[in-house]
Each structure stands twice: as C-alpha cells, then as structure tokens.
A = this chain, B = another copy of it.
Amino acid sequence: MPAIEDGPSVPAARERARAIPEAAVARLAVYLRVLSAMSEQGVSSVSSEELSAAAGVNSAKLRKDLSYIGSYGTRGVGYEVGVLVDQIERTLGLTRKHSVAVVGIGNLGHALANYGGFPGRGFPVTALFDVDPDLIGIPVGGIPVHHIDDITAVCAEREISIGVIATPPPAAQAVCDRLVQGGVECILNFAPVVLQVPDTVEVRKVDLAVELQVLSFHVARRADQAQVDAMADAREDGDRTGIDGMVVR
C-alpha cells in the first residue's frame, strides 16, 4: 500500500466538493433559507431535529445532507447557525455574485424584474431584453430594457452568469442559443419547451403546466382510491351499493 500515492483511487482533499447528490443540493438551499431566518431572529444554535422540522424533512436526511459538506456540528449540542450558513453558502457558490439577465419582459418577465427577493440573495438582475420596440429603453424594476440583438454583447460585458427565459415558447430556443453565445453558463427556462444546449451549460426549467397536471393526477388517483375503498367496504358489508355508473374495476 503506497503511502503518498494520489491516483483516482484516493479522493483528495480538493475533491471534497463533489459527489453531493442533486436532490441534496436543492434541500441545502432550503436549509439555508430557514437558517438565515433563524439567524435574523437571533437564534444561534439549532439541533438537527429542530432544523429538519422547520425545513419539512426527516432529521436523518438532514444530517446526511449536512454531512456531504463536512462535519460542522457538535455532538450532544447541535449546529451553530452562523457556521452552517457560511458553509452552505460556500458550497452553493454564493460567495460570488451571480448576475442575472431576464429575456422576454411580458407578464412574467415584469414580475421577475420587479421581484426584490433575488438581489437580496446574491442574484442581482442586471439586464433585461425584449424584441418589442415599445419596451426598449423603458425601465422595469429600475433597469432599462435592451433589444434582444444586443444580448450577446451585453451578457459578455456584464458577466451575466444566469439567463432567465420568459419569452413565448417559439422564441425560446433562439434566445437560448444567443445567451449561450454570450457566455451564459446557466439558464432558467419558463417557456414550455425542451431546450437544446451544449453540455457545458446547465438548464433548469420551471413548468407550471406540468405542476398543475401532476396535481391533477393526484386528485384523480385520490378519487379512484376513494372508489376502491368504497367498493371494498360495500363488499365487506355484504355487497350492496354499487358506485353508480362508474365501474372502476
């Protein structure tokens, strides 16, 4: 067994950062919000039980998630809020500012541009784009709207790292391509289309229609289950009432 070998078999210290499950990353962001709120209220210490309850997860999962970023707790006591905030921020890359550009200043784009929650969390919205001539130059949320043709130049100049697409679906892919060309590394897509990007670019989508349909599915499932239960009850009782016209089988 060689002592100072450092091939791929030895996870070196600098490799510490990887291997955090995607699902855990999303939860870390939630923990961070809860912890920040606690910090503001003067809470300085928290146990995994308390924190997990506030974040809506089970405490074993929380501890495992935190273990991915290191051991910052004190056994028998809990975690120091400030320490966790710092470590999660570091892990999520929030020590650096990430400038955001919003493309498509319609209903949704306006809401995003006016939203105060982003700048406050290290994501300043620094550029807006649209094609509508009536919008160009008009300030929205304090920032003037640029023409979409300037997108590559402006993104490069202002070091935009995140592009938000809020255009109608047919325009989304073209907008995406131009954002990528402007050096944008990440895209948050609100248009209901599947974007094609080089694999150096990270895409996340927010699809409200899908969310509603998943909810709809659960309503239907619940209704079916209620029918099944009713039938089971009926059978137990000696099979009397059918479920009106609908036989689920």
Instruction: State the A residues within 8 Å of B (CB).
Output: 13-15, 17-18, 20, 22, 25-26, 28-30, 32-34, 54-56, 91-94, 96, 98, 100, 107-108, 110-112, 114-115, 117-118, 121-123, 161-162, 185-186, 188, 192, 194, 200, 202, 204, 206-225, 227-228, 231, 248-249
Contact = CB atoms under 8 A, between A and B. Distances in A.
Given A14-B249, A17-B224, A26 B188 contact: no
Contacts of A186: 215-216, 218-219
Majority secondary structure, A binding face: helix
A117 B20 CA distance: 36
Query: Shortest 8 CB-CB distances between A and B: which pairs?
Result: A93-B220, A56-B194, A186-B215, A107-B111, A29-B213, A29-B210, A202-B218, A111-B111
A208 B206 contact: yes
Nearest to A123: B212
Most chain B CB neighbours (cut-off 10 Å) among A18, A55, A210, A212:
A212
Copies of this protein in the complex: 2
B29 A214 contact: yes
Given A194-B54, A202-B215, A228-B14, A26 B93 contact: no
Contacts of A249: 13-14
A162 B217 contact: no
A118 B227 CA distance: 28
A212 B188 contact: yes
A34 B20 CA distance: 32
A224 B90 CA distance: 12
Contacts of A212: 98, 100, 118, 121, 123, 162, 188
Given A56-B194, A107-B111, A117-B192, A25 B222 contact: no
Contacts of A221: 17-18, 93
A217 B224 CA distance: 41
A29 B208 CA distance: 11
Contacts of A206: 206, 208, 211
